[in-house]
Amino acid sequence: MESYRGQMEGIEEAIVKNLRLFIGFTRKRVGDEGLAEDLVQDALVKALAAPQKPETEEDTVTWFYRILRHAIIDLYRRNDSRRRALERFSLEVPEQPDVIEGGFLCECFRRLLPSLPHQYRDLLERIDLAGEDPGFVAAQSGLTRNNLNVRLHRARKHLRGILSANCRACSKHGCLNCTCEETHSRDGHGSGGAT
């Protein structure tokens, strides 16, 4: 028991003595101080839980560098795996909803588009409905990309407000089968007013 305690103290001492070197080694490979510190901490937990530990300080340092290398490799593998999964997801899920997915949108927006200011309606029709490239629309409209994004955000917000007043709950949660038009007709509000 006494030799185990002495061995653990020797390992802890060797790691603490070289801690800045370990963090520097890791930071150089991952490019982030916080991430490097987290990896060193995780490696330290693994090292202390390992069933077999080195005897000398020199062996401890070599052993701990090996644990760090494995932790860095594992990090890159996880990141690469995430990147590949995101690439697959982006290929599988289109940016614009297709006809079937479009059924989830409240169709009242089409009826309410004419009530938007012309500049907002034009942006929504071109970018969201026709799928035109925002950079192209910005250049053609004489706007910077940032200005276009601000206007598009305002247009969507304005449309959301009109939809919310018109359709209430389904405008926030989406419609599987929009019945707002039928509801307006039954309630005697027609197709243009709020309920």
Residues 19 and 55 in one domain: yes
Residues 8 and 54 in one domain: yes
Q: Which residue has the higher pLDDT, 115 or 167?
A: 115
Does 193 fall in a domain?
no
pLDDT at residue 193, rounded to an integer: 41
Residues 17 and 87 in one domain: yes
For helices 2-17 and 57-92, the axis angle rounded to 10 degrees is: 60
Residues 16 and 70 in one domain: yes
**Is residue 148 scored above 70 in pLDDT?**
yes
Residues 13 and 85 in one domain: yes
Cβ-based neighbour number of residue 156 at 10 Å:
15
Residues 30 and 65 in one domain: yes
Alpha helices in 2-144 (DSSP H): 2-17, 19-30, 33-49, 57-92, 99-102, 108-112, 118-123, 134-141
Does 192 fall in a domain?
no
Does 156 fall in a domain?
yes
Does 194 fall in a domain?
no
CATH of the domain at 19: 1.10.1740
pLDDT in tens, 56-113: 888 888 888 999 999 999 998 888 888 887 777 766 655 544 433 444 456 677 788 8
Tally the domains of the chain: 2
What the block records as the tokens of 137 is: 């629309």
Residues 48 and 130 in one domain: no
Given 33, 58, 92, the domain boundary residue is 92
Residues 105 and 71 in one domain: no
CATH of the domain at 137: 1.10.10.10
Distance set, CA 155 to CA 30, 78, 109, 113, 130 (Å): 41, 39, 12, 10, 15
Identify the H or E element spanning 182: helix 180-187
Query: Which residue segment(s) compose the domain that 6 sits in?
Result: 2-92
Does 53 fall in a domain?
yes
Distance set, CA 61 to CA 44, 69, 130 (Å): 12, 12, 61
Running DSSP on this structure, what letter comes out for residue 18?
T
Does 25 fall in a domain?
yes
pLDDT in tens, 5-45: 555 677 778 888 888 999 999 999 999 899 999 999 999 88
